[in-house]
Amino acid sequence: MFPFAFRNLLSRPLRSALALCGLTVAIAGMVGLFSVAEGIQDTVQSTFGKMPGLVIIQPGAPIPLFSRLPADWDAELRSVEGVHVVHPEVWARAHLVEGKAAISPPRFLFGSDLERADQLLFSIYREKIVAGRYLTAEDRTTLHCVISKGIAEEHQCTVGDTLKVDGKLLEIVGIYDTKSLFLDVAIIIDIALAREMGKVGTDTVCNFYVEPQAAVRYADIADRINALLANRGPGAWQPTLDQALDLAGDNPALKSLAPLAKAALAAGGESKPPQTSPGEAPIEVRSPEDWSDQVQQFTADLDLFLAIMTTIGITIAFVGIVNTMLMSVSERIIEFGILKANGWSSGNVLTLIGCESALLGLGGGVLGAFVGWVATHAVNARFPTRIHLYASPKLLVASLLFSCVLGMLAGLYPALRAARMAPMEAIRRG
Amino acid sequence: MADASTANPPCINVSNVVKTYRRGVDEVRALRGLTCQIPQGRLSFIVGPSGSGKSSLLYLLGGLDRPDSGDISVFGRPLTEFTHRERDEFRRREVGFIFQNFNLLGNLSAVDNVLVPFLPQGISADLRRQAVELLTQVGLAKRLDHRPNQLSGGEQQRVAIARALLKRPLLVLGDEPTGELDSTSGAEIYRHLRQLRDQHGSTIVVVTHDRSHIEPGDFVLTIRDGTLKTD
Ligand SMILES: Nc1ncnc2c1ncn2[C@@H]1O[C@H](COP(=O)(O)OP(=O)(O)OP(=O)(O)O)[C@@H](O)[C@H]1O
Ligand SMILES: [Mg+2]
C-alpha cells in the first residue's frame, strides 16, 4: 500500500509539495520554539552538573550578586564536619569593558579567594582553561585575571594582553571556555581586587562556596550548616532601588538563572553585611539541585507559553493539510470509485488515504525537524554569547512523531468521506 | 443448478427487480419489475434503447448497487440478501468490470493497472507474471510499462479487460466496452473477450448499443422501459 500511496503523492507533485511545506514550516517552528526552553535547561544542566559544591547565600537573594554575608563566618563554616574547603566569593558587575558598556551579554567580576581556590578539588573555571593558566595563590594582590573565550573574542585580546574594566587595566593570564552561557560571563580576579572594584567591605562576602569531603552527602552538610547558623541569619534579602532596577533592566531570565554570575552592586559606598537578627530565617544553603529546581519552574512557565505559540502554528498547518487532502480526495472520487469497482473495500480506500497523509506527515516531520535543527545551530553560531538554543534528540523525535499523527488526523475526515462514497456514484460521475 | 439438462444452465436469476432513482422530488423508475435469466459460460448481450435501464441492471448484477425490491442470485448465491460487506467481498472475488471509458488509473503503468485489484493485499511475483501473461494474450506484450495516456483507446480497453480477468472471476461485466472505439478496435475487443471466455470459462455479460458484434451462439437480452422485451 505504501508504495502505491507514495506514487500517488508523486503524481501530484505541486499539491504534495505545498502540503509538505505547510507541515515543514509548522514543525520547524515547533522545534525552534521548544529549543529555547531546552536550551535554557541544557545550559542549566551543563552549569550545575559541573558544580559539585554548595552555595551559601543570603536567604531570598536570587543570585549571589545581591547577597551579602559576614566574612567571619568563614572560620565557622570550615569547622563544620565533612567540609573540605570553604571558598569565599565576591561578585561585582563589570560596567565598562574596554570602554564598552557590558549589558548584553552582561559581564561580572568574580573575586576568588585564590589560596582556597588552590585547595578546591574541582573548580569549574580551572578545569576549562583553554589558553594560559588559571589563577593561583601567587596571583594575590596582582591585577591578573582569567577571562572566557567569549570575552576574549569580543574584545580581540588574548593571554598577555590587558583588559580595561571599569578603569582598571587587568592583565590576562588565562582563558577558559566552559561553553555555558551563564558561566562564561565571569572575569576572574583576586577577591581583594573584586572588593575594591565592587566596593564590598573586607568584612563582607557575597557567598561561600563549600566543597564537601569525598562521599559526604550535600543534605548532611546543609543540615549541619543550618544548625550552626540558626537564628543568626543575616535577614532576608530586600532589593534596594538600584538592585531592583538592575534586575528589571536586564534579561530577567539570564539573571535569575546565573548562579555564579553576579557581582556586588556598585551603589555608592561600601556595602555592609546585613545585621544579624536573631529569630529570622537562617541562611540559605543551595545545592545544585536547588538551583535546577528554580530553573525548572521558570522553564515550565516558558514551556506553557511556547506550547500556546506552537498550537497556533500547528493549527494553521493542520487546516492546511485537511484542505489539501480534502481537495485531493474530491478530485479523485472517480479514482476511488474505480478502485472500489475493482474490489477494493472501504477499509482499503481508507488505508490508502491514511498512508498518503501519513507519508506527508512523515515527510513534513523529517524536513521540519531537520530545518529546525539547522536553524538552532545557525542561531547559536550567529550569537554564541547571547543565546543558546538546544534541539534535543528527544524533541526532534517527538516532533517527527507528532507530525505523522498530525498528517494522519488531517487525512482522516477526507478519507472517511471517500470511503463512504458508493462506487456507483463515482462511476456515474466519470 | 436448477436446470442441468441444458448445455448452459442459468447462472444469473433476476426476478421482479425494481430500481428507482430519486433525485430530489423526481423519481426515475429505471427497472420496473424485471425478470430474466442469463446462462453460464456464454457471451451474453443486454441491448435496448438509451435510458432503458441496461446499465442499471448490470451494476445490480455486479453488486455495485442494490435493487429496491426483487431478487437476484448469481451462481445460486442470493445477492440481494448480502450485507454491505458481503457484497464488497462478492465484488472483490467474483466480478470483473469493464467500463465504457476504461477507467484506468493515469499514474500507473499497464501492468500495475492490471494489478490494481490486488494492491491492498500486496503483489506477489507470481501474480505479476500472470498479469504480464494476460496482457500478452490481449496483444500488449510490448506495452507493459506504458501509462494509459501513452496507449490508444483500444489498447486501454484491453488493459481493462486484463484487469477484469486477473482474479479469474466467475462473472465479467462490461458496460459498452467498445462504445468509444472504432469498429476495428471494437471487433478486436470482442475477439479477445471470446478467446478469454473459451480459455477461462468465464460468463461474460455485455451491455451494448451496437448489435453488429453479436454472433449466432450469443445470448441476447433486450430491455425496453425497464422491463424485458420478449420478441
Ligand atoms: N443516479 C441516477 N439518478 C437519477 N436517475 C438515474 C441515475 N442513474 C440512472 N438514472 C436514470 O435511470 C434510467 C436508466 O438509466 P441507465 O443508465 O440504466 O440506462 P441505459 O440503458 O444504460 O442507457 P444508456 O444506453 O444511455 O447508457 C435513465 O432514465 C437515467 O436517466
Ligand atoms: Mg448505460
Inter-axis angle of helices A2-10 and A346-382, nearest 10: 70
Per-residue b or e along A9-40, where b marks 16 or more CB atoms closer than 10 Å to that residue's CB: beebeebbeebbebbbbbbbbbbbbbbbbbbb
Nearest CA to ligand 1 atom 4: B21
Residues with Cβ within 6 A of ligand 1?
A 428; B 21, 23, 28, 30, 48, 50-56
- Cβ atoms of A225 and A78 within 8 Å: the answer is no
CATH number of the domain encompassing residue B50:
3.40.50.300
Residue ranges making up the domain that contains B207: 4-228
Atom of ligand 1 nearest to the CA of B226: 14
pLDDT digits (tens, 9 = 90+) for A104-163: 788 999 999 999 999 998 888 998 899 999 999 999 999 999 999 999 999 999 999 999
For residue A280, what pLDDT is reported? 52
Residue nearest to atom 31 of ligand 1 (CA): B51
pLDDT value for A251: 46
Burial of A324-333, coded b for 16+ CB within 10 Å and e otherwise, reads bbbebbeebb
Q: How far apart are CA B117 and CA A128, in angstroms?
A: 67
Q: d(Cα A241, Cα A249) in Å, to the nearest integer?
A: 12
N- to C-terminal Cα separation, chain A: 24
Contact A284, A58 (CB under 8 A): yes
Peptide bond preceding A105 in cis form (omega within 30 of 0) = yes
What does the CA dihedral B130, B136, B137, B138 come to, rounded to 10 degrees?
120
Centre of ligand 2 to C-alpha B173, Å, is 12
> Looking at ligand 1, which residue's alpha carbon is closest to its atom 7?
B21
* Size (chain A), residues: 430
Contact A345 B64 (CB under 8 A): no
Q: What is the pLDDT of residue B224?
A: 92
Residue with cell 482522516: A412
When divided into structural domains, chain B yields a total of 1
Read off the pLDDT of residues B65-112 as tens digits, 9 standing for 90 and up. Answer: 889 999 999 988 999 999 988 888 888 888 999 988 888 998 899 999
Centre of ligand 2 from the C-alpha of residue B209, in Å: 9
Which residue from A8, A342, A430 is facing B101, i.e. has the nearest CB?
A430
pLDDT under 70 in chain A at which residues? 47-51, 233-282, 291-292, 294-295, 385, 426, 429-430
User: Looking at CA atoms only, how far is residue A333 from chain B in angstroms?
Assistant: 12
ipTM: 0.84
Distance in Å, CA B64 to ligand 1 centroid? 15
Q: Which residues pair with A311 in a beta bridge?
A: none
pLDDT-above-90 percentage for chain B: 58
pLDDT digits (tens, 9 = 90+) for B106-163: 889 999 999 999 988 888 999 999 999 999 988 899 999 999 999 999 999 999 999 9
- Looking at beta carbons, which residues of chain B come within 8 Å of A1? 119-120
Cell numbers describing residue B228: 424485458
Residue B20: φ, ψ to 5°: -120, 130
**Cα A304 from Cα A306, distance rounded (Å):** 5
A7 to chain B, any CB pair closer than 8 A? The answer is: yes
| A234 close to A70: Cβ distance less than 8 angstroms | yes
pLDDT value at residue A209: 92
pLDDT of residue A321: 72
User: What residues contact B21, with CB distance under 8 A and at least 6 apart?
Assistant: B27, B28, B30
A9-15 contact pairs (CB < 8 A, 24+): A9/A356, A9/A359, A9/A360, A10/B107, A11/B106, A11/B107, A12/A328, A15/A324, A15/A327, A15/A328
> In percent, how much of chain A has pLDDT > 70?
83
Instruction: Please name which ligand lies nearest the alpha carbon of A429.
Output: 1
Residue A338 to residue B117, Cβ atoms within 8 A:
no
Note the pLDDT tens digit of each residue in B34-73: 999 999 989 999 999 999 999 999 999 998 888 999 999 9
The distance of A341 to chain B (nearest Cα, Å) reads: 7
A347 CA → ligand 1 middle, Å: 29
Query: Torsion-angle region of residue B57: left (phi > 0), alpha (psi -120 to 50) or beta?
Result: alpha
Q: Is A424 on the interface with B (CB under 8 A)?
A: yes
Work out the minimum CA distance from B132 to partner chain A, whole angstroms: 18
Q: Which atom of ligand 1 is nearest to the CA of B53?
A: 18
The predicted pLDDT at position A255 comes to 44
> By the 8 A CB rule, do A419 and A346 touch?
yes
